[in-house]
Homo-oligomer: A and B are copies of this chain.
Amino acid sequence: MEQAAERLGYVPNRVARNLREQRSRVVGVMVPDIDNAFYPMLLADIHQELVAAGYAVALIVDPHHRRADVSRLRNLFDASLDGLIISTATLDSDTPAVLHRRGIPIVLSVRTIPGLDVDIVESDNVAAGQEAARHLLGLGHEDIAAIMGPEITSTTRDRLIGAKEIAGDRISPERVFHGHYTHESGHAHCRRLLLGDRPPTAIIAANDVIAIGALDAARQLGYSIPGDISIIGFDDIPMASWHSFRLTTVRQDTQAIAIQSARRLIERIEDPTCPISHDKYPISLTMRSTTGPPR
């Protein structure tokens, strides 16, 4: 029978099955920016995990970081998506709350929003900031600048909180800059910093992409690294280990976060009553060649 079906080229119609079963076995994955090497990495592992569990992945790129854009999501939430992994959350975005209130299974991945009763999978970013500052202080740095991402992202906020806890006023408030999570932003802020008077001896960048931008700017101005200036990033994307960079960075276990985000969402979909979890993964320092004692 099944062989006959096979021969006739029969394929069960998924759409009909979806209608009947009231689910689609498709989940959405929202990323802020697909050109930033971190997210493809995250996406690849989330994708693999979801596909292995029999779910398809609908990609949702939110390039403008606009909040509350439920209207576009609604198109996808007319029962055609079983759930959503959100890695675009900002502290002021209400989209996750709206979706959650509607009973749509969501998981906040990488970035978090405080006070929301949903599953969260992230790194211990406060500890990450502490680790970065501890490393620079241990090397003897006393004048540290920070080139961060948008203030409204939890990663920037938590990493900065952690760094300040340890470094105190060795990171002076006027040496903290906020911009996008891009090479260009790291490049521009570092350049301005080094062309001003009294450049810092070390820079904490909110992620590796910014750090590499800063590294490029410093080299372009003839600075030697880490001799003239130390630079530390976060994430440990593959590029950080390339010989041209050899970037010291606070590693987060992106793969574990990706896999866990996928699993949590599947759990939530298959049992909406299961208890809410907040997974916070440990971080670790990866020392390479962009940090050293100040002159």
Interface residues of A (CB under 8 A from B): 9, 11-16, 18-19, 24, 26, 29, 34-35, 37, 39-41, 43-44, 47-48, 51, 56-59, 61, 63, 72, 74-80, 102, 183, 187, 212-213, 215-217, 219-220, 238, 242-245
Contacts and interface: CB of A to CB of B under 8 A. Distances in A.
A12 to B, nearest CB: 6
B59 A15 contact: no
Contact of A34 (B9, B43, B216): B43
A94 to B, nearest CB: 16
A237 to B, nearest CB: 9
A145 B207 CA distance: 36
15 contacts: A11-B77, A13-B78, A15-B18, A15-B79, A34-B40, A35-B40, A35-B44, A39-B40, A56-B80, A58-B58, A58-B59, A183-B242, A212-B244, A215-B244, A217-B243
A78 B220 contact: no
Most buried by B among A59, A75, A216: A59
A34 B61 CA distance: 14
Nearest to A43: B34
A47 B18 contact: no
Nearest to A17: B78
Given A220-B243, A244-B244, A16 B19 contact: yes
A228 B41 CA distance: 34
A107 to B, nearest CB: 17
Contacts of A80: 14-15, 18, 26, 56
- A-B residue pairs, 3 tightest by C-beta: A216-B243, A14-B78, A14-B80
B35 A238 contact: yes
A66 to B, nearest CB: 14
A74 B47 CA distance: 18
A244 B239 CA distance: 12
Given A13-B79, A26-B26, 8 more contacts: A16-B79, A26-B58, A34-B43, A35-B40, A37-B37, A44-B63, A48-B61, A56-B76
Contacts of A75: 14, 56
Contact of A216 (B9, B212, B220, B244): B244
Contacts of A220: 243
A167 to B, nearest CB: 28
Contacts of A76: 56
A11 B244 contact: no
A63 B238 CA distance: 17
A41 B80 CA distance: 26
